[in-house]
A and B are shown apart, each in its own frame.
Chain A
C-alpha cells in the first residue's frame, strides 16, 4: 500500500491516471484472475466460515418462525411491522449503490467506476436477495405467500393493483432480475478470460458454459456495448422507482410520520448513501485481501467518500425538512409524531441515526479524512448502522404511538428478531465470499478500456487540440506525462 502512487490530485496537464501501478493488459488480467485461480487462502475461510455460521442462524430463525409463527418476534398491536420490514428496506437500500455505480455513473461517463462496478453490482444482487427473503417470511402464513403475485388461483382472486404493496412486489423483483442480467452481461467477457486460462477440464467447462463461447469479436462487441448502454439507461429510472415505490408503502398510509411527500426522494438519497457505505466497507477489505490497491485506488475511495458526503447532506436535509414541515403544517398529530420521535421512548434510536448519518460524513469535507483508510472504514460502518436505525425509527417510532393513546405500546425486539437480522448479514457475506472466490472481482475488460494504450488514437489528442477541431473534451485520459501541456 505504501508504494501506491497518489492519484488523488489532478496534475496541471492531462488527467490523473484512474489506476496506478503501471499495469498493461496482461498484468491486469493476471492481477484479477489470480485470486480466482490460486488455492483458497486461509484468510478467505476466516471470512467465509463465520458468514456461513450466521447464514445457519438465519436458517434456524426462519425455520422456527415457520413452525411457531410471527409471535416469536417482538411485534405487538400498534407495532405490526418490526424488524422484518426494517431489514427489507435496509437491504433494498444497500443494493441501490451498486446500480448507481454500474448504471448512472456509466451514463455520466465516470470512468473510475470500472474498477468497482463488478463488486458493487454483485453486492446489489446479494442485497436484493436478502431483502426479498423478508416479505416472503413476514406474512405469517407463508404457505399463501404466492398471493403476492398475480397468479390465477382456485379462489378466482387477484391482487389489488392500486396498492403500493403490490407495486413493491413488482419493483423489487424486477429490480433484482434486471440487476442480475446487467451483472451477467458484464461478466461474459471476463468469464471467457477465466475459461481461456483454466487448466482443469472442470473449470474449462464450468466457466466455458457461462462464457457462452465469447470470442471478443468486434461485431459482437458492437451489439454488446449497445445492450450494456440500454441496460444502464433502463436501470437508472428503475433504481429511482424502486425505492420510491418502497417509500410509498409508508407514504400512502395515513399515519403521522409516514404520510409525507418527501419520502420518495428522501428514501432514494438514503439508499444511495447506505449503499455507498457498504461498497466502501467491502472494497476496503477486498483491496487489501486481494492486493488490488493499485486497481481500486485512493481516488476511487475518495470519490466514494465525496458521494457519501453529498448523499449524507441530502439525508440530513430531509431530517430537517421533516421536522420543519411537521411544525409548519399546524397538524397536532404530525407535530406530536416528530416531537415524540426526537424526545420520546425511541429518542435513543433517533439520535443514533442523526449522529451516524448527519455528523459522521461531515468529516469528509477534509481531504485528509477522505484519504484516511481507517476513518473511511469506521465511518462506513457507522453510516450503515445509522441507516439501519433510520428505517427502524421510521417504522417503529411512527407506529408505536398513533392517534389514540389507548393504543400505545413499546416495541421490544426479541432474540429471534436479532437472529434474522444477523442471519441476513450471513446470507449477504456468504454470497459475497463465494463471489470473491470464484468470479473476477474487477471488470477486467472494462478496466482495460481505461488504460491509455487501449485508445486507438493515443497521443493524437494534442494534434486535434492544436488544430482546434474535433472533440478534444471527449478524448480519453492520457497518461499524465503524455498528455497536453502546450
Chain B
C-alpha cells in the first residue's frame, strides 16, 4: 500500500475559507494541512468491522460515508440514538395546540356564531383539524429538525475535493478520520486504516488543490 506524498504541515492562508464556515473545524483557518484521511472499503462487512476498530482505537472526530444506510452501523461507530423524536414530539404538540387554540378562539371570541343551538366551545368538532395540524407540525419538525441536526444544506465540504469520493453516492463505502481528532496522525492514521483492509487510502486537502497545484489525492 503506497501512500501519497504528503505536503508539509503548514497553516492555511489567512483569508476566510467560506467552505469551512459551516464545519465543526476548530480554528478553521490554521494548523491543519489536511481535512483528514479518507479510506474506501470494498464491502459493507469490511466497513462494519473497520468502524468497530476505529471506534475501539478511540477516535472521536470521524465518520462513515456510504451510498445507503448500512443498518446497525451506528452500533459499530458507537453513535448515540438521534434526538430527533423529541423535536418531533414538541413541534407536533405545538401544531396541535395551535390548531385547537385557533378553533377555540375563532368560535368563542373572534366570531361567536350559534349554529343549531349548539354551545360555542364544541371541542369534539375541533378534533380533526387539531389532529391534522398536529401532524403538520410534527412532519415539519421531523424534516427541518433532520436538516438542522445534519447541517443541511452544506454545499461545500472538503471531502468533495477527492475525486474518489464521487463513489459515495454510487458504490463507495468510506471512512473519514478528521485531522483535528486528538489521536490523529498523518501517517499513523492512514496506515491504521489501510491495515483494516481499506482498498484505497488518501489524504484529503483542506483547501482547493487547484489553487496551489499541489494536489495530494490519488493512491
| A interface residue numbers (CB < 8 A to B) | 24-26, 29, 150, 156-162, 164, 166-167, 170-171, 174, 177-178, 181-182, 184-185, 188-189, 192-193, 195-197, 208-209, 212-227, 230-231, 234-235, 237-238, 241, 245, 444-446, 448-449, 453-458, 476
Residue numbers in A under 8 Å from B82 (CB-CB): 222-223, 226
Q: Which residue of A lies closest to B129 (CB)?
A: A170
What are 26 contact pairs spanning A and B, CB under 8 A? A25-B68, A26-B170, A156-B110, A158-B106, A160-B115, A162-B107, A170-B132, A170-B133, A178-B136, A193-B170, A196-B169, A212-B152, A216-B65, A217-B63, A218-B64, A224-B150, A227-B145, A230-B85, A231-B139, A237-B131, A238-B135, A444-B67, A445-B67, A453-B44, A456-B48, A457-B45
Shortest distance in angstroms between B88's beta carbon and chain A's nearest beta carbon?
5
Check A224–B146 contact: CB distance below 8 A: yes
Residue numbers in B under 8 Å from A226 (CB-CB): 81-82, 84-85, 146
Check A215–B128 contact: CB distance below 8 A: no
Check A156–B84 contact: CB distance below 8 A: no
Check B126–A161 contact: CB distance below 8 A: yes
Q: In the complex, A354→B64 CA distance in Å?
A: 55
In the A-B complex, the 9 residue pairs with the closest CB atoms: A456-B48, A25-B171, A227-B146, A212-B153, A448-B68, A162-B125, A193-B169, A226-B82, A218-B64
Check B69–A218 contact: CB distance below 8 A: yes
| B interface residue numbers (CB < 8 A to A) | 43-45, 47-48, 63-74, 76-77, 79, 81-82, 84-85, 88, 92, 102-103, 106-107, 110-111, 113, 115, 118, 122, 125-126, 128-129, 131-133, 135-136, 138-140, 142-143, 145-147, 149-150, 152-157, 159-160, 165-166, 168-171, 174
Which of B70, B106, B129 has the most C-beta atoms of chain A within 10 angstroms of its own C-beta?
Answer: B129
Q: In the complex, A235→B166 CA distance in Å?
A: 33
A25-B171, A215-B159, A458-B44 given; A223·B69 CB < 8 A: no
A158-B106, A158-B110 given; A196·B166 CB < 8 A: yes
Shortest distance in angstroms between A99's beta carbon and chain B's nearest beta carbon?
12
Q: In the complex, A445→B71 CA distance in Å?
A: 12
Residue numbers in B under 8 Å from A157 (CB-CB): 111
Q: Which residue of A lies closest to B51 (CB)?
A: A218
Check B77–A218 contact: CB distance below 8 A: yes
Check B65–A217 contact: CB distance below 8 A: yes
Residue numbers in A under 8 Å from B73 (CB-CB): 218, 221, 456
Shortest distance in angstroms between A247's beta carbon and chain B's nearest beta carbon?
12
Residue numbers in A under 8 Å from B71 (CB-CB): 449, 454-456, 476
The answer, among B63, B102, B118, B150, for a CB contact under 8 Å with A162, is: B118
The answer, among B76, B135, B142, for a CB contact under 8 Å with A174, is: B135
Which of A177, A224, A445 has the most C-beta atoms of chain B within 10 angstroms of its own C-beta?
Answer: A224
Check A456–B45 contact: CB distance below 8 A: yes
Q: Which residue of B lies closest to A449 (CB)?
A: B68
Check A454–B139 contact: CB distance below 8 A: no
A161-B103, A189-B68, A218-B73 given; A458·B45 CB < 8 A: yes
Which of B76, B150, B174 has the most C-beta atoms of chain A within 10 angstroms of its own C-beta?
Answer: B150
Check B106–A174 contact: CB distance below 8 A: no
Shortest distance in angstroms between B123's beta carbon and chain A's nearest beta carbon?
10
Check B106–A150 contact: CB distance below 8 A: yes
Check A177–B122 contact: CB distance below 8 A: no
Residue numbers in B under 8 Å from A192 (CB-CB): 169
The answer, among A159, A231, A456, for a CB contact under 8 Å with B44, is: A456
Check A162–B115 contact: CB distance below 8 A: yes
Residue numbers in B under 8 Å from A209 (CB-CB): 155
Q: Which residue of A lies closest to B134 (CB)?
A: A234
The answer, among B65, B74, B125, B131, for a CB contact under 8 Å with A215, is: B65
Which of B76, B102, B126, B147 has the most C-beta atoms of chain A within 10 angstroms of its own C-beta?
Answer: B147
The answer, among A197, A221, A234, for a CB contact under 8 Å with B69, is: A221
The answer, among B84, B110, B129, for a CB contact under 8 Å with A227, is: B84
Q: In the complex, A476→B68 CA distance in Å?
A: 15
Shortest distance in angstroms between A235's beta carbon and chain B's nearest beta carbon?
8
Residue numbers in A under 8 Å from B149 (CB-CB): 223
Residue numbers in B under 8 Å from A234 (CB-CB): 92, 135, 138-139, 142
Check A223–B150 contact: CB distance below 8 A: yes
Check A216–B47 contact: CB distance below 8 A: no
A25-B171, A29-B170, A453-B44 given; A219·B63 CB < 8 A: yes
